[in-house]
Amino acid sequence: MSDETLPEGPAVQTRGLSKRFGGQTVLDGIDLSVPRGSVFGFLGPNGSGKTTTIRILLGLASATSGDVEVLGRKIPRFLPEVLPRVGALVEGPGFYPFLSGRANLHRLDAADRFVDPSTRRARTAQALERVGLSQAADKKVGAYSLGMKQRLGIANALLTHRDLIVLDEPTNGLDPQGTREVRHLVHSLTAEGTTVFVSSHLLAEVEQICSHVAVLRAGKLVAQGELSELRAAGQTRVEVLTPDGADCRQVLTRLGLTPQEPTPSHHTPGGSDVAVGAPLPEHFPPETIVAALVAAGVRVKGFTVDQVGLEELFVSLTGEGFDVVQ
C-alpha cells in the first residue's frame, strides 16, 4: 500500500441512506454530510436510528439502499482502507471481562494490521492516560464500573491517530467530572485535525461541544447544519400582554410586524387580557414597539422578548415526551 492519503471531501456523506429490518423502516432516506474537522452532533431520541446509522458507517450493518462515503471512500467497498483511520465507540463499551484494561487494548490493537506493534505499549499507555485510567489499567475489566468501561471504550478509539472518531453516546454512565473530561478530550481531538462524530440523546451535551448538528427523528433527518445557523433559525418573538387585543394588532401591523391572533392570557386567568405574539425581525429594536403601543393608547400590561432556544427547537423537531417513536 502506498503512502496516499484518502481523498478530500466530507468526512461522512450519505445519500438516500435507508435501512429496513423485516417490514420496519429504521432509516428513511438519510442525507448526512459531516464536514472535515467538525465536531458533529448526531441528535435524536432513543430509537430514532442513531446507532443503526453508525453501524452502517462502520460496515457492521449493511444499508438497504443509498450511498455511504466515509473519508471520501465508498462503504462497504473500501472498509479495509477506511477503518484503520476511524476510531469508534459503538453502542457502549465491549471488553473481555477476564482481561485487564491494558490487555484489552493490546488485544484490539493487535487486531489492527496497520499499526506498528513496536509502539503498542507506548500508545496504549498514552490512550489510558488520556482518559484517566492509568491507575486502573491493570485491573480486570470485570471489576470496572460502567463509567470506567466507558472511558476504556474511548481509549480504544484513541489508540492511534485517527481522521474520524465516532463516539456513540460517549457520556453514558459518566459522572459530571467524566462528562467534562470528554468535552476537553473532544476539543483536543479537533485541535489535532480529527473529525469527531458524537451521537447523543442529550441536547445540552451536544450544544456545548459541537460545531455542527443533525437531528434524527423516527429514522428521518429533520434538521442539519451549523449549530449557529440552527440557533439563528430559532426565531426571536415579542409578546404583548394587553386588554386591547385588536388595537394592539393594528399597531404591530403598522410597525411592519406580522402579529398572530390574540390568545387569552394564562397570566390573568378569568380576566379580559390577551397575549399578542409576533416574530421579531432581525435588527428591529423591541423598545420602539412599546413606545408605539403607548402612543396609540394601547394599555400594555406586559412585554416580553423571547429567543426560541435550541431546546424548544429540538423538542419541536423530535416531539415531546418519552414515547419511543418506533
Partner 1 sequence: MSNNDPAHSIGRRPATGLVFMASELSILFRRRRTWALLLALAAIPVLIAVAVRLTSGPPTGRGPAFLDQITQNGLFVAVAAITVAIPLFLPLTVGVVAGDTIAGEASTGTLRYLLVAPVGRGRLLAVKFAGAVVFCLAATLAVVLAGTLIGAVLFPVGPVTLLSGDTVSIGESLLRSALICAYVTVSLTGLCAVGLFISTLTDVPVGAMAATVVISVVSQVVGQLPQLELLHPWLLSHYWFGFVDLLRQPIEWSSFAANALLQSGYVLVFGALAYGRFTTRDVLA
Instruction: State the minimum distance, in angstroms, from the CB of residue 130 to partner 1.
Output: 13
Nearer to partner 1, 35 or 264 (CB): 35
Paired sense of beta strands 12-21 and 65-70, if any: antiparallel
Nearer to partner 1, 92 or 243 (CB): 92
96 contacts partner 1 (rule: CB under 8 A)? yes
Q: Which of 283, 263, 259, 285 is nearest to 274 (CA)?
A: 263
162, 194 Cβ separation under 8 angstroms: yes
24 contacts partner 1 (rule: CB under 8 A)? no
Nearer to partner 1, 93 or 277 (CB): 93
68 contacts partner 1 (rule: CB under 8 A)? no
Residue 102 burial (CB < 10 Å; 0-12/13-18/19+)? buried
107 contacts partner 1 (rule: CB under 8 A)? yes
Nearer to partner 1, 173 or 319 (CB): 173
Instruction: State the minimum distance, in angstroms, from the CB of residue 284 to partner 1.
Output: 45
DSSP character for 300? P
DSSP character for 152? H
13, 34 Cβ separation under 8 angstroms: yes
Which residue blocks in 202-285 are alpha helix, DSSP H? 203-209, 227-233, 245-254
Among 23, 111, 295, 297, binds partner 1 (CB under 8 A): 111
Instruction: State the minimum distance, in angstroms, from the CB of residue 83 to partner 1.
Output: 4
DSSP character for 141? G
60 contacts partner 1 (rule: CB under 8 A)? yes
Q: Is the peptide bond before 35 cis (omega within 30 degrees of 0)?
A: no
Q: Is the peptide bond before 285 cis (omega within 30 degrees of 0)?
A: no
157, 165 Cβ separation under 8 angstroms: yes
Among 95, 144, 197, 314, binds partner 1 (CB under 8 A): 95
Instruction: State the minimum distance, in angstroms, from the CB of residue 172 to partner 1.
Output: 13
Nearer to partner 1, 123 or 217 (CB): 123
110 contacts partner 1 (rule: CB under 8 A)? yes
Q: Count of residues for the chain?
A: 326
CA 104 from centre of chain: 29
Instruction: State the minimum distance, in angstroms, from the CB of residue 44 to partner 1.
Output: 18
145 contacts partner 1 (rule: CB under 8 A)? no
Nearer to partner 1, 126 or 208 (CB): 126
In order of 8, 36, 238, 245, the CA distances from 285 in angstroms are 44, 38, 11, 21
290 contacts partner 1 (rule: CB under 8 A)? no
216, 222 Cβ separation under 8 angstroms: yes
Instruction: State the minimum distance, in angstroms, from the CB of residue 286 to partner 1.
Output: 47
Q: Which of 247, 230, 249 is nearest to 317 (CA)?
A: 230
138 contacts partner 1 (rule: CB under 8 A)? no
275, 252 Cβ separation under 8 angstroms: no
122 contacts partner 1 (rule: CB under 8 A)? yes
Among 10, 45, 49, 93, binds partner 1 (CB under 8 A): 93
Among 17, 50, 55, 101, binds partner 1 (CB under 8 A): 55
114 contacts partner 1 (rule: CB under 8 A)? yes
SS3 category, 67: strand
Residues that bind partner 1 (CB under 8 A): 1-5, 55, 58-62, 79-80, 83-86, 88, 90-99, 106-117, 119, 122-123, 156, 160-161, 163, 193
